[in-house]
Amino acid sequence: MIRHRVDVAVIGGGPAGLIAAAAAKENGAERVYLLDRNHWLGGILPQCIHDGFGVGEMGESLTGPEYAEICLERAEKLGVTIMNETMALNLEGTSITAVNREGVHRIEAKSVVVATGCREKTRWIAMIPGTRPSGVYTAGVAQAFINLYNRMIGKKVVILGSGNVGLIMARRLKLEGAEVIGVVEILPYATGLPRNVVQCLEDYNIPLLLSHTVTEIHGQERLEGLTISQVDEHLKPIKGTERYIECDTLLLSLGLLPENEFLKSAGALLDPRTGGPVVNQDLETSLPGVFSCGNSLHVHDSVDMLAEEARLAGKNAALYGMRKGPLKVIEVLPGQNVSYVLPQRIDRSGKVVISLRARTTMKEGALLSVSDERKEIFRKKLRSAIPSTMIRIRVDITEDVLNGEKLEVDISER
C-alpha cells in the first residue's frame, strides 16, 4: 500500500473536479491531489466538440476540449498533483483507497471533494420492450464514437428523449449526413434547453414529436424499425395510435443519473430527488469533511453553471476545520411546483445560493417565494418557469431565519 498525506483530495477530473482542485489551492490548501480513472482529464468534455461552453464563465464561446484545457492548465499551474488512470475505490472518513498501475494507494486527506460526474439512463431503465439488435446507443456513447473515434453509427436515426445531449446529437448526425427522422419525447414539452431546441432541431428542420414514446424495438442483428405510440396524460401508450418507423439507429437521450455509489457506500445521505448527496450551504455532505460538486451533486444544464459550485466546494474543502461546527441546522424543502432544491440544509447565516427546478412549465410568468413557518423571506418574479432550466437565487439567511425549523421554496402562478 502506497501512503499519501494531503490537505484536499478531489475525486474526478472533469471540469467540476479541476475547478474545485484549483479553488482549494487558491484558498490555501498546500497539498491538493486530483484522481481520475481515465487516461485523459476533462471528464466528458473532450467529446463535446461543439461550441457554447464558457459563455457565462469565461466570456467567450469555447468548445468542450478548449474549456477542459483551460481548467486543466489552471489546476496544473497552481500545483495540483494529478493522478490519472487512478480509480478511487472507497472512502472511509476522509481517507480514499485508490488503485492504479503502481499499486494500491491510501490517500489520507483532511477533506475530500467528490466530483464523479454522471452516467446516462439506458434502455433497461426506460424498460423498452422488443428484441436486442445492435444500433441502439445512448446519446453520449454515440457522441464518443463520432467525435472521439471518427466512427459513424448509422444512416437513419430516431432519437428518444429530448435531453440536451440528444438534441446536440440530432444536429451532429444531420451534419454528418445521416437522415434524422425525428426526436420522440414522452412529455408534452422538450426536456433540453429551449436554445438547443431552436439551434439543433428547428434550424435543421428536425421534427420533435411530443407526447410519444417508443413501444417496441424490432430487428435481429441490426435495428430494423421501431413502433412508436402516443401517450396519455399519465404517460401510458394509447392503444390504436401505434405506428411503425423504419430506421437502423436509435439514440437514447433519457437523462443523466448522478454517479454516487462511492458516497453511498461511505454512508452519505442521498436525496432521491436529485440523485446526489444531501449538502449544506458549503456543499458539504452529511459526511464531515466530504464535499460534493458537479454532475454527481445534481445534473446541470451546462458546464458553466457548475463552475460556481465547484469553486465553492473547493474553497470550503480548503477551509474545512477552520470553521466552528453548526449550532443549528434548518432544512430547505421543495414546495409547490418545485421538483428539487439544493442545498437541502443550511447551518450558517449569510448569503446562500439556492438552485432549484420547476416541476411543470409556467410560460406566462411565475412567482418564486421562500418562506419559513412564520413568514416569507424572499420573493422573485420569474418571466417563466421551465423544468429544463435550472433556477438559481441568492437568499439572505439571517440569524432570525436560522431560529426557524425549515424553509420551503414555492413557485406559483403570477
Nearer to ligand FAD, 21 or 356 (CB): 21
Least distance between ligand FAD and beta carbon 230 (Å): 28
Selected binder of ligand FAD within 7, 43, 154, 252 (CB under 6 A): 43
* Dihedral sign (CA 260, 262, 265, 268): negative
How many amino acids of this chain bind ligand FAD (CB under 6 A)? 36
Nearer to ligand FAD, 11 or 411 (CB): 11
Q: Binding marks (x or -) toward ligand FAD, 228..257, rule CB under 6 A?
A: ----------------------------x-
Are 134 and 221 contacting, i.e. CB atoms less than 8 angstroms apart? yes
Contacts of 290 (CB under 8 A, 6+ apart): 91, 94, 111, 112, 114, 263, 266, 268, 284
The 249-252 sheet, strands edge to edge: 136-138, 249-252, 156-160, 179-184, 208-209
Distance CA 337, CA 332 (A): 15
Q: Is residue 13 close enough to count as binding ligand FAD by CB under 6 A?
A: yes
* Sequence-distant contacts of 381-385: CB under 8 A, at least 24 apart: 381/414, 382/411, 382/414, 385/337, 385/358, 385/361, 385/411
Among 44, 113, 159, 200, binds ligand FAD (CB under 6 A): 44
Taking the C-alpha atoms of residue 394 and residue 353, their distance in angstroms, rounded to an integer, is 4
Q: Which of 29, 32, 35, 346 binds ligand FAD (CB under 6 A)?
A: 35
Q: Alpha carbon 324 to chain centroid distance?
A: 31
Pick 154 or 276: Cβ nearer ligand FAD: 276
Q: Which of residues 159-188 bind ligand FAD (CB under 6 A)?
A: 165, 168
Minimum Å gap between C-beta 368 and ligand FAD is 24
**Region near ligand FAD per CB under 6 A, out of 74-82, 113-121, 122-130, 321-329:** 113-121
What are 277's strand-pairing partners? 270
Q: Could you say which of 87, 148, 152, 198 contacts ligand FAD (CB under 6 A)?
A: 87
* Partners of residue 216 on adjacent β-strands: 227
Taking CB under 6 A as the binding criterion, the range among 201-209, 264-272, 289-297, 390-398 that sits at the site for ligand FAD is: 289-297
Stretch that binds ligand FAD, among 275-283, 294-302, 330-338, 363-371 (CB under 6 A): 294-302
Largest alpha-carbon pair distance within the chain?
A: 66
Decide whether 163 or 219 has the Cβ nearer to ligand FAD: 163
Q: In this structure, are residues 115 and 20 in contact, taking their beta carbons and an 8 Å threshold? A: yes
Work out which of 162, 213, 281, 295 binds ligand FAD, going by CB under 6 A.
295
Neighbours of 348 (CB within 10 A): 17
Q: Give whole-number Cα distances, 263 to 21, 275, 290, 348, 412, in Å.
A: 19, 11, 9, 24, 35
Alpha helices in 59-206 (DSSP H): 64-77, 123-126, 139-149, 164-175, 194-196
Q: How far is the CB of 414 from ligand FAD (least distance, A)?
A: 30
Return phi, psi of residue 387, to 5°. -55, -35
Helix and strand numbers, DSSP H then E, in the chain: 10, 27
Q: Using CB under 6 A, which residues numbered 327 to 366 contact ligand FAD? A: none
Find the binder of ligand FAD among 229, 302, 316, 388 (CB under 6 A).
302
143 near ligand FAD (CB under 6 A): yes
The position carrying cell 428539487 is: 340
Q: Is 116 in the site for ligand FAD (CB under 6 A)?
A: yes
Kindly state whether residue 306 participates in binding ligand FAD, applying the rule CB under 6 A.
yes
Q: Which is nearer to ligand FAD, 99 or 402 (CB)?
A: 99
Binding segment toward ligand FAD, per CB under 6 A, in 100-108, 125-133, 290-298, 355-363: 290-298
Positions in the binding site for ligand FAD (CB under 6 A): 11-17, 35-38, 43-45, 48, 53, 87-88, 115-118, 140, 143, 165, 168, 256, 259, 262, 294-296, 300, 302-303, 306
